Amino acid sequence: MSEAAEPREHPLGAEAASSPSVRVRVDLAYDGACFSGWAKQPGLVTVEGCLAEALELVLREPVRLTVAGRTDAGVHAGHQVLHLDVPASRWQGLPGRSGDAPGEALVRKANGALSRVLGRVGHPLRPGARPVEVGAVALRCAREVPASFDARFSALSRTYLYRIADGPLRRTPLNRTYSWALKDAVDPGELSRAAEPLLGLHDFLSFCRPRPGATTIRELHQLSFTRGEGGLIEATVRADAFCHNMVRALVGACVAVAEGRRETGWLTGRIESPARDSSIRLAPPEGLMLQRIDYPETPEDWAERADATRARRG
């Protein structure tokens, strides 16, 4: 008879192993110009790495963060969503002597801890990154949610906004770090017409860097271009989910058609015959911002959506 296996330590500590947990939804925003993307990576400054360190200072527990969408290096988020599980005793004790609700206390304390973490960042920066500044990441709200909520798999869609400063009259020092500067002006109508073949359910292998074992089939709900605030072109890109580099590849491909560097039928061919295409130019990350995440309205629908998404990804 084999020896009994050694008991494994709970990843969130001894207290978490014996205490019921609370699932917490956190809504946040960040300036991606300082970071090497969302995902924690050794030796790099990332949003997840800094945020996890701040939350661990507040909760005095290791944390495991599940995010709605992992943004690339240099990409911003006006509205990002994550969830984490917190021991109930920690959650209930967050307000201390204040009259705050636990979620309010977490936001206040975590934003304070973020100021300390960001103020002492000492890891090497990625090439071209701006210096890390206090305030580059901010929690907007936090609240307890049923365990059926999954920030990643319960999401119905993600919406990105991409800004383009086209022509010398629209390129200014004030928008240089939050838009793609094009030499000549382009017509937003031409960009939208170029995008039409891309809408719907397709294999977007031509427009992304696939991860091992992951599907590249996505449903693109919207890819439209309009002239927005300050004369910048604003691309709204909405899909059920996105592959790595997919938004930047789509925008870059539409610009190539509108500028006349590619024929009108080129994008149709890329969708009908999906294959890795190194000739597709990625739009720079500076112009891209995660704008919103949409979820079903009820906890029952959260669970159903999460199950369906996991099955499809598998």
Residues forming the active site: 72
Helix, strand or coil for residue 159?
Answer: strand
Helix, strand or coil for residue 26?
Answer: strand
Token pair in block for residue 293: 């995440």
> Residue 170's beta-bridge partner residues?
none
> Residue 166's beta-bridge partner residues?
182
**Cβ proximity of 113 and 54 under 8 Å:** yes
Maximum alpha-carbon separation in the chain: 79
Run of H or E residues at 66 = strand 66-67
Give the strand pairing for 137-145 and 180-182: unpaired
Residue that is written with structure tokens 């629908």 in the block: 301
**Cβ proximity of 187 and 257 under 8 Å:** no
Return the half-sphere exposure (C-beta side, CA atoms, 13 A cut-off) of residue 209: 8
Other beta carbons less than 10 A from residue 291's beta carbon = 18
**Cβ proximity of 40 and 49 under 8 Å:** yes
CA distance 305 to 244: 22
The CA–CA distances, whole Å, from 113 to 116, 135, 161, 212 equal 5, 11, 29, 36
Token pair in block for residue 40: 């924690």
Token pair in block for residue 193: 């017409």
